[in-house]
Amino acid sequence: MIVVNLRKSYREVLAGLRDMEDATLGWWAGVTDEAVERYGDVVVGVYNDQVVSVYDVKSHERQEDGRVYFDAEESVEFASLVGQKSPVKPWVRGQARPIQYVDTDVVRHGDAPIEEIQDHRRAVVSGYVLTVDADGIATVEPPEGGVVIVTAAGSSGKLLSVPVRG
């Protein structure tokens, strides 16, 4: 998957000045042929660390200046990602490169690598986002309709389980 930051272009989509397909698939700089070969099966558009669009790539074209445009159609397989947390680490202020890569099978099957991000760790597993901060406090964000069961030892040492629906 090629994950693109739509920080600027998504505002144009919301204002009706641009369509989502153009904003997501538009002319991206710095995408090598190797990256297209390895990750170019799906393009994911992200705004404010949330997925706003997902496309299955059919082909791509490259301009003389090296910029790449993807010919794609809305993804059926990954449509459930829309509205969910980004499958890659959040972009940080001042980060110039609006593109990140993640193996599609990691998102598809949930074999998530753990990401070290400043003061916390984060993993995405089958659409569930687990974040653990520096104090050891864990936050789980389930996909829509997902269920989280929390099991913890109370002060008595007894295990308590509480199901939570997403």
**Rg, Å, the chain Cα set:** 18
DSSP summary character for residue 149: E
- Dihedrals φ, ψ of 8, to 5°? -90, -50
- What is the per-residue pLDDT across 97-123, written as a single tens digit (0 to 9) for each? 899 999 888 888 765 555 666 677 777
Cα–Cα distance measured from residue 6 to residue 22, given in angstroms and rounded to the nearest whole number: 11
Is residue 166 predicted with pLDDT exceeding 80? no
* Mean pLDDT rounded to a whole number for the chain: 85
**Three-state SS for 146?**
coil
Query: Tokens representing 18?
Result: 């641009």
Q: How far is C-alpha 123 from the chain's CA centre?
A: 11
Cα–Cα distance measured from residue 18 to residue 127, given in angstroms and rounded to the nearest whole number: 28
**Three-state SS for 30?**
coil
pTM: 0.69
Residue type at 138? A
pLDDT recorded at residue 35? 95
Cα–Cα distance measured from residue 63 to residue 23, given in angstroms and rounded to the nearest whole number: 17
- What is the per-residue pLDDT across 69-97, written as a single tens digit (0 to 9) for each? 999 999 999 998 999 889 888 888 777 78
39 neighbors 102 (Cβ within 8 angstroms): yes
- What is the per-residue pLDDT across 11-57, written as a single tens digit (0 to 9) for each? 999 999 999 999 999 899 999 999 999 999 999 999 999 999 999 99
Cα–Cα distance measured from residue 59 to residue 10, given in angstroms and rounded to the nearest whole number: 23
